[in-house]
Amino acid sequence: MKDKVVVITGSTSGIGKACAFAFGEAGAKVVISGRDAVKLKSTADELTQKGIICRAVQSDVSQEADAQNLISETIQQFGKLDILINNAGISMRALFQNLDLAVIKQVMDINFYGTVYATKYALPYILESKGSVIGISSIAGYRGLPGRTGYSASKFAMQGFLEALRTEVMHQGVHVMVACPGFTASNIRNTALNAQGNVQGESPRAEEKMMTAEEVATRILKATQKRQREVIMTTQGKLTVFLNKWLPGLTDKLVYNVMAKEKDSPFK
């Protein structure tokens, strides 16, 4: 990673922030982005204090112009781009029958189109460096989760997009990877949208029992160095993908039961 230039979207908290430290401490120059200017500056200061060379660019990657500017500022600052980590994301929790369709659009704009926009403008430079395009996905990208229709759709779309892209560039030396952390202790459930598009606030799951964002970032770093195709990080996640492929009817029941046990579950 020494002197590699890494762009990480949505990197002011959770997995994105942890990746900024993991890749930076491994020797990379890190470009962080996010919508909140205060959090962005705070994260940049923390990285600098650790001796990590970084650039902070305020951007909302669901807006094409912002994604283009993020890549332009990276090239202006460092002259190249080696790794793009598409991490910016938002979740939702509500039954589809009760859901305002604007919620699905917002989730798709950030999770899917944010990946498309950032990748579109980064790809010419990554082709040049024979670098990596990484998507931070979810088990919801392999198996639709009830109560999270919009989130599942966005992650399926991301993974389909990246799989197609991987095949397009397979003879050009570019590495494309999908990383699926499983349930990770972060603020994504706190900021998840409810049926009306409002932030739900309290997480419905026991965050203290989950994999930490730092552990996820370390695994993403190692998988990037090995140029792996995909990485599914939890036993629960691997089992879900396996069962959904071979015993889909059973998986329907198991997934429903798990989601129904969540605090304030929409199934109750």
Look up residue 36 and give its two tokens: 């909140």
The angle that helices 37-49 and 14-25 make with each other, rounded to 10 degrees, is: 30
The pLDDT value recorded for residue 91 is: 92
Instruction: Give long-range contacts, CB 8 A cutoff, 24+ apart: 221-224.
Output: 221/1, 221/19, 221/22, 221/23, 221/26, 223/177, 223/179, 224/83, 224/132, 224/134, 224/175, 224/177
Q: How far apart are CA 260 and CA 82, in angstroms?
A: 42
Instruction: Give long-range contacts, CB 8 A cutoff, 24+ apart: 171-175.
Output: 172/127, 172/130, 173/127, 173/130, 174/123, 174/126, 174/127, 174/130, 174/131, 174/132, 174/133, 175/130, 175/131, 175/132, 175/133, 175/224, 175/227
Quick one: 214 exposed, middle or buried, by C-beta within 10 A (0-12, 13-18, 19+)? Answer: middle
The identity of residue 118, as a single letter, is A
- What percent of the residues of the chain are helix, what percent strand, and what percent coil, each to the nearest 5? 50, 15, 35
Which pLDDT tens digit goes with each residue over 26-64? 999 999 999 999 999 999 999 999 999 999 999 999 999
The pLDDT value recorded for residue 202 is: 62
Q: How far apart are CA 105 and CA 239, in angstroms?
A: 30
Q: How far apart are CA 45 and CA 167, in angstroms?
A: 39
Provide the sign of the torsion angle of the four alpha carbons 200, 62, 186, 163, taken in this order: positive
Find the catalytic residue in 117, 121, 142, 151.
Answer: 151
Catalytic site includes residue 151: yes
pTM recorded for the entire structure = 0.92
Look up residue 258 and give its two tokens: 């798990």
Among 161, 87, 83, smallest CA distance to 122 is for 83
Residues of the chain falling short of pLDDT 50: 189
Domain residue ranges in the chain:
5-234
The pLDDT value recorded for residue 184 is: 65
Reported as type and span, the H/E element at residue 22 is helix 14-25
Q: Determine the topology of domain 5-234 in CATH.
A: Rossmann fold (3.40.50)
Look up residue 116 and give its two tokens: 């498309």
Q: How far apart are CA 129 and CA 132, in angstroms?
A: 9
Phi and psi of 135, rounded to 5°? -115, 125
The pLDDT value recorded for residue 261 is: 87
Among 26, 89, 78, smallest CA distance to 220 is for 26
The pLDDT value recorded for residue 265 is: 84
